[in-house]
Amino acid sequence: MFATPATIVRTIENLLNYPVRMLHLLVVWLLFPFLLCLVAADVILRTFFQAPLVWGHELSGLVLLSIFILELPHTLQQQQLLQVDLLFARLGRRMQNVVYFLSRIFVLVVAFLFCWQGFTGAQDMYTYAEQAYTLPLPLWPLSAAMTVVGLLMVVQALVQLIHPAKHHTPCVDGEIA
């Protein structure tokens, strides 16, 4: 008794749902509110007390970068990648499928580059103890997160390439998806 390819794909998707959801919840409930509080505190301190946070700008940039990186798997899972709907809807079904396939190949390449650069960057940053300029904050965890996100996206893109029907519904006769 062997599992069907559809069952294997569904199992992989179910396994991916948990880490993708946890990363999304981390962003929504921790990083985004932290960023809002940090920016508000910096503005209030600078405006009313002429005492800006020296490290505020750098830390807010790192948090914003973390939000962007950690939300990529959720964006891919929810099919919220950028797509020009007006142009896409005017393509025929076959061309829409080709565009979908090519976009997933592109995502696969970008995700692989994320893994590679995240891994080598984390190694170098850890080896040379690279830190932020204004805070004694190590930078290697951000590169390690890039590696994990890249791995998640590689698997997601492969699943979407293997089983595109579940993830992609072509537009019919000019309707906008």
What contacts 113, CB < 8 A, 6 or more positions away? Answer: 150
| Burial letters 112-129, b for 16+ CB under 10 A, else e | eebbeebbebbeebeeee
d(C-alpha 79, C-alpha 21), whole Å:
14
Entry pTM: 0.85
Reported as a single tens digit per residue, the pLDDT across 89-143 is 788 888 888 888 998 999 999 999 999 999 999 999 999 999 999 999 999 999 9
Inform me whether the pLDDT recorded for 169 exceeds 70: no
- pLDDT for residue 1: 59
3-class secondary structure, 51? coil
- pLDDT for residue 88: 75
**Which residue has 């950690």 as its token pair?**
70
Cβ–Cβ under 8 Å, residues 52 and 42? yes
- pLDDT for residue 8: 83
